[in-house]
């Protein structure tokens, strides 16, 4: 049983509330924050969702269809009564918005990551939830929310995106019950699948072709490795958003148990590494050893090259650990 009491009390005592999804916000981070914002507004609270970067095009329906505003950090004044980090596993994933979190009177976090840092005063984190949105649904039920179509759109978006359209092993009977409840409210939500998983840009297709061409195999084909550089994106006319599904795409190759997808990070010498796996390996555990985190089947690492280690040496170290993990 989840103890919602501390967060319910914190909400009751707050007038101004800031919601903080993780950096590079995905459908779950934005959908969860969106559902919570709509509910809190209905309760008469002043709510701001502060995002790190502009919302991805494919999630822009959250603005148009769920009437949400996602504020960039410079639009937001610190000092809310309550800050809630949503789908944020680690303090570092607040990015430049740490002051918005730290300078609030109360700090809370609602999340579903298994490997995570304890950085809030009030934490509700359940790794059994397929998406943070599943937890938000629970909180809204606890608080007797009136269900509306925009709230249903937000919750469903979180579920659809974090479960690969209800395909991954994180889906529980309860996940489908929540989805069913949202479908009862909104009637038609199939368009959310089309918006988030189909609807691929031509530049995404060009980048996909390059990606398959550059995919390497390690460990007798059990590991797929892909590194895309700025030039690959430029040649395809692609953006970061165009490569969102690539880690899952590599994991889907026959015989592959673990995929590694490497992109450039925000700063020079920084790398963003996405890991996906099947039951052969707990990639959250391996990611944790490298300062990252996530879920057993989907995790990530931010690697900053220093201490004299080259990226190639790091790559070897990571692949070695993943192989050991699969053998264990
Ligand atoms: P991604 O590969 O970026 O889709 O991330 C997969 C999962 O790993 C998500 O649940 C992220 O929250 C988590 N994750 C990604 N990068 C990091 C990181 N640098 N540190 C901790 N968790 C991460
Ligand atoms: Mn997320
Ligand atoms: Mn999530």
| 235 has a pLDDT exceeding 90 | yes
Residue 38, by phi and psi: left (phi above 0), alpha (psi -120 to 50) or beta?
Answer: alpha
Query: What is the residue with the minimal CA distance to atom 4 of ligand 1?
Result: 274
Identify the pLDDT of residue 328: 84
Identify the pLDDT of residue 314: 96
pLDDT digits (tens, 9 = 90+) for 53-76: 999 999 999 999 999 999 999 999
Please enumerate in sequence order all residues whose Cβ is within 8 A of that of 234, keeping only pairs 6 or more positions apart, or say none. Answer: none
pLDDT digits (tens, 9 = 90+) for 136-146: 999 999 999 99
The H or E element spanning position 124 is strand 122-125
> Diameter of the chain by CA atoms?
58
How do 298-304 and 270-277 pair as beta strands? Answer: antiparallel
* Ligand closest to CA 114: 1
Ligand 1 within 6 A of CB of 292: yes
State what percent of residues in the chain have pLDDT above 90: 96
pLDDT digits (tens, 9 = 90+) for 291-312: 999 999 999 999 998 778 999 9
| 243 has a pLDDT exceeding 80 | yes
DSSP-derived 3-state class of residue 189 = coil
Question: From the alpha carbon of 87, which atom of ligand 1 is closest?
Answer: 12
pLDDT digits (tens, 9 = 90+) for 157-206: 999 999 999 999 999 999 999 999 999 999 999 999 999 999 999 999 99
Domain boundaries defined on the chain: 5-197, 202-327
pLDDT digits (tens, 9 = 90+) for 17-26: 999 999 999 9
Neighbours of ion ligand 3 (CB under 5 A): 28, 87, 131-132, 162
5-197 matches 202-327 in fold: no
Q: Of residues 328 and 283, which shows the higher confidence score?
A: 283
- Pairwise CA distance, residues 11 & 320, whole Å: 46
pLDDT digits (tens, 9 = 90+) for 205-224: 999 999 999 999 999 999 99
Cα of 199 vs centre of ligand 1, distance in Å, is 24
Ligand 1 within 6 A of CB of 293: yes
C-alpha triplet 129, 132, 133: angle, nearest 5°: 100
Q: At the top level of CATH, which class does the domain 202-327 belong to?
A: alpha beta
Superfamily, domain 5-197? inorganic pyrophosphatase (n-terminal core) (3.90.1640.10)
Name the nearest CA neighbour of 260 among 216, 220, 308: 216
| 30 has a pLDDT exceeding 90 | yes
Question: From the alpha carbon of 24, which atom of ligand 1 is closest?
Answer: 3
Cα of 214 vs centre of ligand 3, distance in Å, is 29
């Amino acid at each position: 049983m989840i103890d919602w009491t501390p967060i319910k009390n914190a909400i009751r005592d707050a007038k101004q509330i800031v919601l903080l999804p993780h950096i590079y916000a995905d459908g779950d981070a934005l959908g969860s924050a969106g559902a919570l914002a709509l509910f809190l507004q209905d309760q008469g609270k002043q709510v701001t969702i502060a995002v790190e970067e502009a919302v991805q095009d494919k999630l822009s329906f959250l603005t148009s269809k769920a009437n949400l505003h996602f504020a960039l950090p410079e639009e937001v004044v610190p000092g809310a009564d309550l800050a809630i980090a949503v789908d944020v596993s680690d303090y570092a994933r607040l990015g430049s918005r740490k002051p918005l979190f730290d300078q609030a009177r109360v700090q809370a976090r609602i999340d579903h990551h298994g490997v995570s840092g304890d950085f809030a005063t009030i934490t509700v984190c359940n790794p059994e939830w397929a998406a943070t949105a599943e937890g938000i649904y629970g909180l809204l039920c606890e608080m007797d929310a009136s269900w509306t179509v925009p709230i249903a759109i937000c919750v469903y978006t979180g579920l659809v995106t974090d479960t690969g359209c209800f395909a991954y092993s994180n889906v529980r009977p309860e996940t489908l019950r929540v989805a069913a409840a949202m479908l009862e409210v909104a009637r038609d939500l199939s368009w959310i699948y089309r918006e988030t998983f189909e609807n691929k840009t031509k530049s995404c297709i060009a980048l996909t072709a390059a990606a398959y061409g550059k995919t390497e195999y390690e460990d007798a084909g059990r590991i797929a490795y892909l590194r895309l550089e700025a030039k690959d994106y430029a040649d395809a006319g692609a953006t970061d958003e165009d490569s969102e599904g690539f880690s899952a795409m590599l994991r889907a190759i026959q015989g592959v148990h673990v995929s590694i997808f490497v992109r450039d990070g925000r700063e020079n010498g920084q790398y963003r590494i996405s890991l996906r796996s099947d039951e052969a390996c707990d990639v959250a555990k391996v990611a944790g050893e490298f300062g990252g985190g996530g879920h057993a089947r989907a995790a990530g690492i931010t690697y900053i090259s220093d201490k004299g280690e080259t990226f190639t040496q790091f790559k070897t170290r990571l692949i070695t650990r993943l192989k050991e993990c699969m053998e264990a």
